[in-house]
Structure 1
Amino acid sequence: MLTTMNQVLSWLLQGDVSIQYQTQRYLLQAESMLLEQLQKRIETEGFGAQLLSARNENGYWGIWYYQPKWTCTHYTLCDLKGLGLAPSNPIAKEMVERALTECQLKDGGLNFAKSDIPSDIAINGMFLAYASYFCPKDARLAALDLCIRSFQKPDGGFSWDYASPIGDPHTTICVLEGLYAYRYATQGTSSIDSCLKQALQCLYQRNLCIGEDPRYIRMAYPYRYRYDLLRFLEFAANAQIPWNESIEQALVWLVGKQHDGVWNLQLVHPGKVHVQFEQVHQFSRFITVKAIQILMQYAQASKTAEVGLRRCESMEKDKPVPSVESTGVDYFA
């Protein structure tokens, strides 16, 4: 039976090879051979190839590891992981290893600034996420993990501000992703689980930070270092966080953003980029594949998620497949 969900899946599979890979992996649960073939193509086609080709002769992207946003080595590696680049990719592995050699401090944190300052906890969290993906066996990640966890605030959150008595949502979500990636890659200890639970409670107690910043409820991708509800839900789905009332509240928001089975890109964080993945105010393949994955994860526990999936399957059969033709970039500050 032809349904709008089938049309959406067809539309996703017409996108960049990275979207094809994510659709086959997360939505269609394809066999490993097909996934390996698609993932390998990410480095030679589309967005992945464009990012890899922007690398300088000295090995860095941009000027160094964190200069400038968003074309530096750090954010390019974040983007490559987000696309699903194969973890065996030699370029990504090389640059993670170089970052540890050139930038790791005695306390285990990383200093990506060319100055004598303490490491940034948010950057440490982001780095741990992609380093655990590309170089999970590097023993130096253990020191980074311990460094990050040593700076957990009394409220359970994390902050870039060493003097702050409380966590901030941006740093906290970066750390959640990093610690989970390290825990998953190394089958880490229960002490990491305890840290993750406390950090989640920090966000729950702040009502997922809803109302604190209007950007938190806009559909944005790439996330960069910033927190928002979509990023929280993607983390929760990937980490298989059990359904709870806070997640339900975020799912209600997610379903409310749906338009005929797809989701729009509402926000791009301003800054120079190597590749403009998608256009603001247009249907977004990146966000749509994430949203459907999230709804699938929570469909059995949440009526909201179940209804969101049913909406995809019960729309009019003759709805046109969405278009993502460029209409120009519109940045929200």
Structure 2
Amino acid sequence: MAKPIEWLLSGDVSLQYLTRRDYLGSDEHQLTSLQNRIAGEGFGARFLSCQNPDGHWGRYYYQPKWTSTHYTLQDLKNLGVPATLQPCRTMVLRLLADCQLAAGGLNLARYPHPGDICVDGMVLDYAAYFCPDEPRLAMLAQHLLAAQKPDGGFTWDLNAHTGDPHTTICVLEGLLQYRPWCERSLSEHIRETQARAVAFLLDNRLFLDHADTRFRKLSYPFRYRYDLLRALACLAKDRLPRDNRLEPAVAWLLAKRSADGLWKLENRHKGAVHFDMEAVGAPSRFITLQALCAIRYFAPERLGKEEV
């Protein structure tokens, strides 16, 4: 088996790009050259080829899981397609026009519905990637900020008084993506909100001991679901200062590493898919890259010299 970094760079062009962007810090020319290929080959091209003549993927914005417009836009964003890619920008703007409610949230269903904070967080994540200057995103972000619970978490359940990890991680990712693009006063409010949401996760030990065993399985794509790697990857991306409360989760992730230095895909969230990018039980480039990024940030002393 090749060394982990070499192995990552031998994968789909999207993974070559993500590895050089997120782990190797390659120069802009090399990154642009790779990124411009994603829409025309490999995984990116396959997702784009599934778009319907009416512009949607699947049947509508949120139907069905996981082949809908919503989850396909999430997939394409996470592959690193160019942010200027017109099919994606067009559908983000169309989604905002068709689905945004007066209070700023979204209803992606075909019927009257008050919205879902978890979905709103995911939409902000990819909408701020493809259309960062879109004014309607400020309304969406403010709607999310107002939905924070007293414990610092977020939840899709309008009647709940406490947060849940699924919604909280989706909102954190959305706010993290949008924060660099918004005006200063809103950015400061977002930082304060993020800090409380991170404290919610840390105070619960990243839900390491939760009854849902899927929290402790390596899954990709994440969809709307929380798991430990997703949390560690998000916190590392946000440059969270090292905290002793993270050590059990980092140890868990290190223990998942195979003897060949890679991490395997352990779980795939059930639902319809356009195609499978990786096989359950086999080494996963998506998981391995995110694991390496998280460990290099939180525990670089645990990596080999060629990985730091």
The verdict on a shared fold, with TM-score over 0.5 as the criterion, is yes
- In 2: Cα distance, 1:58 partner to 1:286 partner: 31
Q: Is the 8 A contact 1:47 1:275 kept in 2?
A: no
Match of 1:294, as an amino acid? A
Q: Deviations over 1:256-278 (max 9, x none)?
A: 11112110000100111012010
Alignment of 1:205-220 (within 5 A): 205-212=203-210, 213-220=212-219
Q: Which residue of 2 aligns with 1:148?
A: 144
- In 2: Cα distance, 1:8 partner to 1:117 partner: 46
| RMSD of aligned residue pairs (Cα, Å) | 1.4
Q: Is the 8 A contact 2:172 2:197 kept in 1?
A: yes
- In 2: Cα distance, 1:59 partner to 1:77 partner: 12
Matched residue pairs, number? 303
Q: Which residue of 1 aligns with 2:73?
A: 77
Q: Which residue of 1 aligns with 2:235?
A: 236
Unaligned runs of 5+ in 1: 314-333
Q: Deviations over 1:68-88 (max 9, x none)?
A: 000000000000011011111
Higher RCO (C-alpha 8 Å, min separation 6): 1
Match of 1:306, as an amino acid? E
Q: Which residue of 2 aligns with 1:90?
A: 86
Alignment of 1:247-326 (within 5 A): 247-259=246-258, 260-298=260-298, 302=299, 305-307=300-302, 309-310=303-304
Q: Which residue of 2 aligns with 1:9?
A: 5
Q: Which residue of 2 aligns with 1:163?
A: 159
Q: Which residue of 1 aligns with 2:199?
A: 201
Q: Deviations over 1:102-135 (max 9, x none)?
A: 1000001010011111010000000000001000
Q: Is the 8 A contact 1:261 1:311 kept in 2?
A: no
Match of 1:46 among 42, 47, 50: 42
Alignment of 1:52-63 (within 5 A): 52-63=48-59
Alignment of 1:8-47 (within 5 A): 8-47=4-43
- In 2: Cα distance, 1:296 partner to 1:215 partner: 24
- In 2: Cα distance, 1:306 partner to 1:26 partner: 19
Q: Is the 8 A contact 1:261 1:312 kept in 2?
A: no
TM-score, with structure 1 as normaliser: 0.88
SS in 1 for 2:304: helix
Match of 1:129 among 121, 125, 128: 125
Q: Deviations over 1:193-244 (max 9, x none)?
A: 1100111111111121122111101111000000000000110111111110
Q: Is the 8 A contact 1:122 1:225 kept in 2?
A: yes
Q: Deviations over 1:254-304 (max 9, x none)?
A: 111111211000010011101201000100011111111112222xxx3xx
